[in-house]
Structure 1
């Protein structure tokens, strides 16, 4: 495929989706899986990742690299993860700066983003039944329970880094629960950042190995569930999205008996009202900007969903 063919293909758009996922993953509390859901590539992502496994070895040996690449949807995965890496290395500093200087506005944008993204997910549920409602409530309960957990402090050994990587990537794949937020809860987040900044190769390898294993295994499980029990699985994921709004509420204060934390750790603080935030913190609530940011995010999600639906309808109407 030459440059002109690449430009005309779907893969530049996949790269942009990957960049959006990477930008979300930079923020502890926001999941890249949410962005995958919003942009309509969640199921394809799970299906592609679930193809990676033991069957790849005989396929590579008997049919070659091209057949293997097609089997795992390699061009899609390469484009997506290239976008994620581009975003992490190019936008991480910008997003971290915005989160530090305008935390309420940033959290409001992501609050609107997640709130609106639950609408197309709920609409995709093919049928409703009492069990579907139960799974919706279970998903919301899981997210709220996670938000109530208090930070721990586990040591950064090769084994704990491996399992931390696996746990974080599983959370990252789920829309609504951030892998970085889970790392904060178990107390490993600062240690992973230190390993990145100091290039601690052994620690990074253990963490990456755990993330790789977790991604392959968990994506296979989710892909199977979303095909076998589509209504219940979508309801459960929608519940997680709605429950995670508690984590993303913009106005927060330190919990009783605890000192103020960095805005990057805002999901670990207690929710409050804008008025109470002003009184107790002495800082501005940025209520107007927060509402504008949330509405902008809602309109963005609804526009993406509208154009994606229109594109699907056009594709279905095109003669084969």
Structure 2
């Protein structure tokens, strides 16, 4: 893989890291928009299988053949740059976006609303045409469910290690599920600020517990999602589309601390401008990714045509 492509995956990883720190935006959404989603899900599934085979086979003296076979199927050329990019993206977001959400909540949500709204077109287009009735029904039900979820009032939980572990296991599912924000789920249960504070203060005890919960959540969820994408692709993408649409409620600029929605009020011009900027940014990302895929397909076609000519 060329250096430029690796660098591109690093930038995608940074964008996913930023998204994971922002309530209302899913890292899975960014992965979907930038064209790495299915490779990441497939790779995570193979890693989970490798760990399971190693835990089962090695103690019984069967060796690690099955585990190595799974690891060879991981898209390391994509996963490694993504992970390298995610860490600085997450740290930068934790430092810079938290004050923006506090000092300029309406403007910030307006920008994010445009980002996520434009992102909906990605899974919708991936379903293809024509949409069947059951897929439309799944989209509507998922949208209603996500709308209701993002309207829940914020709770306050004591950051007990067991609670942190369970919250991380649930929230990390949002990393692989477009339309569901892990940070928003943490915000709903009152653990967003403690987690951001722990990240900024390098509270490694808290972060270790949180990371353990993430591993547990991924190991339980990612294989299910991988199976759904393989066996029920259209329906799964329809549900993702609905989840994205319903989650837009969390990003409506004019709402109270209790998440009651209000009609447009102050700062409507700058908020509208930021909303349009968000749409333009995602649209540019989608167009650039599709052009890259077209170029890659053309290169493969030309290479396949030239190979017989050489012989």
TM-score, L = length of structure 1: 0.83
1:243–1:297 Cα change, 3 Å:
same
Shift in Å, 1:200: 4.7
Determine if the alignment matches structure 1 residue 272 to structure 2 residue 275: no
**What is the 5 A alignment of 1:104-253?**
104-126=106-128, 127-196=130-199, 199-253=202-256
1:105–1:199 Cα change, 3 Å:
closer
Does the 8 Å contact 2:11/2:85 carry over to 1?
A: yes
Determine if the alignment matches structure 1 residue 39 to structure 2 residue 20: no
Shift in Å, 1:252: 1.7
Q: Indicate the SS of the match to 1:292.
A: helix
Q: Provide the rounded CA distance (Å) in 1 between the counterparts of 2:153 and 2:91.
A: 30
Q: Provide the rounded CA distance (Å) in 2 between the counterparts of 1:254 and 1:303.
A: 33
Does the 8 Å contact 2:27/2:174 carry over to 1?
A: no
1:55–1:234 Cα change, 3 Å:
same
Shift in Å, 1:42: 1.2
Q: Provide the rounded CA distance (Å) in 1 between the counterparts of 2:77 and 2:297.
A: 23
Does the 8 Å contact 1:36/1:42 carry over to 2?
A: yes
Q: Provide the rounded CA distance (Å) in 2 between the counterparts of 1:64 and 1:77.
A: 21
What residue is the counterpart of 2:271 in the other structure? 290
Q: Indicate the SS of the match to 1:244.
A: helix
Q: Provide the rounded CA distance (Å) in 2 between the counterparts of 1:159 and 1:98.
A: 31
- In structure 1, runs of 5+ residues without a counterpart are 256-268, 276-284
1:310–1:204 Cα change, 3 Å:
closer
Q: Provide the rounded CA distance (Å) in 2 between the counterparts of 1:70 and 1:246.
A: 41
Q: Indicate the SS of the match to 2:44.
A: helix
1:129–1:78 Cα change, 3 Å:
same
Shift in Å, 1:239: 0.3
- In structure 2, runs of 5+ residues without a counterpart are 305-311
Shift in Å, 1:13: 0.5
Shift in Å, 1:65: 10
When structure 1 is superposed on structure 2, of 41-50 and 168-177 the one drifting more is 168-177
Per-residue CA distance 1:133-178 (angstroms, 9 max, x = gap): 1110121022112112222333333322211110110123222221
Does the 8 Å contact 2:255/2:262 carry over to 1?
A: yes
**What is the 5 A alignment of 1:296-307?**
296-307=277-288
1:74–1:17 Cα change, 3 Å:
same
Does the 8 Å contact 2:229/2:236 carry over to 1?
A: yes
Shift in Å, 1:202: 4.0
Q: Provide the rounded CA distance (Å) in 1 between the counterparts of 2:154 and 2:102.
A: 21
Q: Provide the rounded CA distance (Å) in 2 between the counterparts of 1:293 and 1:161.
A: 34
What residue is the counterpart of 2:308 in the other structure? none
1:241–1:227 Cα change, 3 Å:
same
